Chains A and B, each alone.
Chain A
Amino acid sequence: MELQVNGIKHTVSAWSETSLLYVLRDELDLTGSKYGCGEGQCGACTVLMDGKAVRSCRVPLSATQGKQITTIEGLEKEGQLHPVQEALLNVDVFQCGYCAPGMIMSAVALLETNPQPSEEEIVAHMNGNVCRCGTYPRIVRAIKEASNA
């Protein structure tokens, strides 16, 4: 099957019902997207599919055909970080950072559709992403900062 990731077309050997997360990590070695629960409950595996945030652990390969997938590895352009990444770095948000790629992809998707979200909108949109280190208020602050950039 074919898979379009970060602008590159890949041919992959996995079965059509295999999860997108598995294909990204184990076949394409794009390990930025993380396994956290395998049931779409924690958001660590979040990627963009045609610009929308999806939980890649719950997306079968068959559902990705003809779609553009963007992962954390595809955000930085020629050494230039995405404004969300810049803001997270600036606020020095993370502790262990395992949730970071999923958080960033969710936030990027939010700002794509809502460039100036209110705090309530940020919280509502991000609620599916878990940070067990508890950095939520810092993430909210960084997303606000990115939205003003």
Chain B
Amino acid sequence: MKKETDTDIKSNQEQSQPSPDNGNQFSSSRRRFFKLLGGGIAVTFVLQDAFAFLADPENTAVLQQASPKEVGAWIHIGENDVITVYTGKVEVGQNIRTSLAQVVAEELHVPMASITMVMGDTDLTPYDAGTFGSRSTPSMGPQLRKAAATAQAMLLDMAAEQWKVNISALRVADGKVINTKNNKSLSFGQISKGKQLLKEISDNTSLTPTEKWRVAGTSVPKVNGRDLITGRHKFVSDLKQPGMLYGKVLRAPAFGASLATVDLSAAKAMPGVVVVQEDDFIGVAAPDAPTAAKAIEAIEVSWNKTQQPSRSNIFDYLKQHATDGRGGRGSAEKGSIAQGMAAADKKLAATYKVDYIAHAPMEPRAAVAQWENGKLTVWTGTQRPFGVQDDLASKFNLPKEKVRVIMPDTGSAYGGKHSGEAAVEAARLAKAAQKPVKLTWTREEEFTWAYFRPAGVIEVSSGVKNDGILTSWEFHNYNSGPSGIRTPYEVPNQQIQYHPVESPLYQGSYRGLASTANIFVLESQMDDLASLVNMDPLEFRLKNLQEPRLKAVFEAAAKGFGWGKTKPAPNHGYGIGGGTEKAGFTATCAEIAVDPGTGDVKIVRITTAFECGAIINPEHLDNQILGAIVQGLGGALFEAVDFENGKILNPHFAQYRVPRFKDTPAIEIITLNRKDLPSAGAGEAPIVGIAPAIRNAIADATGVRLKTLPLVPDGLKANLGAP
């Protein structure tokens, strides 16, 4: 819990000491703080840490260590009526820039247009661990609401004092405090004029109840939408600095390869080209990108290769190199598997295999790095600006305040941009060249040297009574990861284990993380169990489910889809799947059609129901669900990273198929608005029901119960041929 002491500082020097031991420090910090921001009032978070940091005159950064352990944010109300929100969160297409501004506009009673969001700049925004795990809406949203409400309370107090009236006579609208007795008004800027007031966010502040929302809860359009459709927005890859060079890095031919011999002389002889070699890192910076590419080509190099896994043996590799997993992340144990299996009328065991897949964000990794007077500034597209700041500080042995990372709104991530590879590479080149350097990864580099959603093997063994009650559930996940590993169904006897493996390819986060694998297996197995006891798949799920929010989305999806109302046409099938992840609840129904001649599978229609508490922006929520469905289709049907002996074989869009216009079926999205519940994030969870719903629909149409992701990269012909 945060302290609720009022650290309001009046401009009067005598009143500006919150505690006797750091008074001088405090007031000098406050002066520096407002020097950077301009006068006005500000509401911040964990104020003491911020002042301790600002007290160091060497620091040019503002509040970057304000709250190292927690998510931080603050709001400044300027004398010019401009309201600036500072948050370490970043925009990668999830429209958080819009929805966070909405909650501030709501609590402050100001028009959206008066709010400027400063995001993901390590010099200007408080520390933030990163934009991932669907945390921005549930954790940053409420903090900003409290900060805004605290600011409004301050403004009311100040207006009441100025007019010598009781606060109850005042109301706030459109960025003004209005005296209801005489209809006089003061804008927020007028009230804050000449002031330099700081206040800590109060946990006591009363927030606008959801049912009274007027800005939050509505479909406010994307705040910088016009910049994107006119090409005016500058992504990192669009940035230029005076005198900037263009970088390129020499890449190994495969994972596990190391440098044997290298001759840099031809590259070094090229005019204007700077060549850098530090151990296995070799890169160049040149006056233009074609010259940089030519310089890399001019390097004569040979590599020592090592034996590496291939896609054809990856699943054996993962099983063989797995750790025990007992007691590790995601593990759960309950009852006795032996007793559970003994109590079962029917038993079912299966092994599932899930390929590596790529995020393939449309904007590949990029960075612009610049060294100036011993300070490094890097613009880069990352979900963790402060994490990349740490990486850079440690790489170049710099104090953190000598490293600034700035993240302009970036061309998507989907969990794939937690890291800062391009930032470190560009900074190395810029340091050697003593000029700013831009490095933009090629699509091939992005497909090879970024990281993938993990491949995995999942073994599940389960038991059920003839009446459809689950008795036993044993689940072993090798390398896919622990997210979504626990079953939401009621099973008295459970053993669930995640067995980590040292992955031969780079792997990391993804949209919905491992739940795209775990819930696929869970919901496929549930379908097969339903079939074993001759129950309708929906009825079987509901019978074993108590979580009311998950039940509600299953029922909503089924109703929208018309589940149980019609039989599928010949060669068509219906399937259902769902689950919960990151406090979002989702269920999908799918209709597919199989061409019995060619084995081609076509998705006819998808109905997804989703619930994430109180909805902040209905259109943007709809768009996130749509995005999750379309991305989910790719991972379900055909996406897979192919590799042989550590070399990626399909690092291009021509070979790595992603969903396109033609792959998109009819889509129905149903959102359940639970105004009584806190808002949760929505970028990830709606993806988890897609693959199992499609898989189960294929089973319904053909009887083929697929156990791989992707399901049908080459259609179903091979499966239909075998009886």
Using a CB–CB cutoff of 8 Å, the interface residues on chain A facing chain B are: 14-15, 18, 22, 25-26, 29-39, 41-42, 44, 71-73, 75-76, 81, 85, 88-89, 92-101, 104, 122-124, 126-127, 129-140
Contact = CB atoms under 8 A, between A and B. Distances in A.
Most buried by A among B94, B231, B237: B231
8 contacts: A32-B231, A38-B442, A96-B410, A98-B361, A127-B662, A132-B360, A136-B661, A137-B626
A137 B667 contact: yes
B234 A31 contact: yes
Contacts of A140: 661
B662 A123 contact: yes
Contacts, number: 167
B722 interface: no
B412 interface: yes
Given A34-B363, A92-B620, 8 more contacts: A34-B411, A95-B95, A130-B658, A132-B360, A133-B627, A134-B630, A134-B631, A138-B626
A44 B619 contact: no
Nearest to A42: B653
Interface residues of B, number: 58
B316 to A, nearest CB: 32
Given A42-B362, A138-B623, A32 B230 contact: yes
B232 to A, nearest CB: 7
Contact of B362 (A22, A89, A96): A96
Contacts of B414: 132
B562 interface: no
Contacts of A100: 228-229, 231
Contacts of B359: 132
B297 to A, nearest CB: 15
Contacts of B619: 92
A41 B652 contact: yes
B233 interface: yes
B643 interface: no
B653 A22 contact: no
A89 B161 CA distance: 44
B652 A39 contact: yes
Contacts of A137: 626, 664, 667
A92 B240 contact: no
Contact of A39 (B226, B228, B238, B443): B443
Contacts of B620: 92
Contacts of A101: 229, 231
B362 A98 contact: yes
A98 B363 contact: yes
Contacts of A25: 238
A88 B414 CA distance: 23
Most buried by A among B240, B659, B660: B660
Given A15-B290, A138-B623, A81 B653 contact: no
B629 interface: yes
Interface in B646-681: 652-654, 658-662, 664, 667
B681 to A, nearest CB: 14
A91 B629 CA distance: 19
Contact of A41 (B226, B624, B653, B661): B653
Contacts of B233: 97
Most buried by B among A88, A96, A136: A96
Contacts of B362: 34, 36, 42, 44, 96, 98-99, 130-133
A95 to B, nearest CB: 3
B411 A127 contact: no
A72 B230 contact: yes
A33 B363 CA distance: 12
A76 B659 contact: no
A22 B290 CA distance: 9
B660 A88 contact: no
B234 A133 contact: no
Contacts of B237: 31, 34-35
Most buried by B among A85, A94, A122, A134: A134
B288 A26 contact: yes
Contacts of A94: 93, 222, 225, 228-229
Nearest to B653: A41
Most buried by B among A14, A44, A129, A133: A133
Interface string B198-224: 000000000000000000000101100
A123 B664 CA distance: 9
